[in-house]
Each structure stands twice: as structure tokens, then as C-alpha cells.
Amino acid sequence: MIIFDIPYAPSHHGEWPVRVSNDGHPEFKSRHDALRFAVCSALEAQQRGEETLISLEGVDGKWRMFDHRAKGVA
């Protein structure tokens, strides 16, 4: 399973890291760009038959899980 973690706040140098469980952590200029990368990458992985999960931190500090369509999962 590939997991994409996106924190609520940017890193100390103002970019949003996307921690990818199998491939390091690219950084983006905005949280929106980070989420777009995670959704597109998760969709591509799903099409290859891999399982994916997007983990997104909310303003309240809670992490919420989404599938490759950005739909919430339990």
C-alpha cells in the first residue's frame, strides 16, 4: 500500500511536503498543489493495481483518510 501524508501546515521553509511511503517526500508551493499531486499519483497507482491511501491533516490536528478519488474512507 502506498500512503501519501499531507500535513496542515507548511514546513519551516514554507512548502508543503508530501510524505510518500514508498518514495521520499516531494515539496510543493501550496497545500492545494500537494493535494493535487497526491490524488493524481494515487489514481495512477490504483490504475496499476496498487492500493493507495491519502492521509490529510486537518486544522484540528486530526488526520483523515481519503481514497484516490479524494473521497473519505472509514
Q: pLDDT tens, 18-73?
A: 999 877 788 999 999 999 999 999 999 999 999 999 999 999 999 999 988 878 87
Which residues in 14-45 are b (16+ Cβ under 10 Å) and which e? eebbbebeeeeebebeebeebbebbbebbeeb
- The phi and psi torsions of 44 (rounded to 5 degrees) equal -60, -40
**Rounded CA Rg of the chain:** 12
Residue 14's alpha-carbon distances to 11, 30, 33, 44, 64, in angstroms, are 5, 9, 13, 27, 22
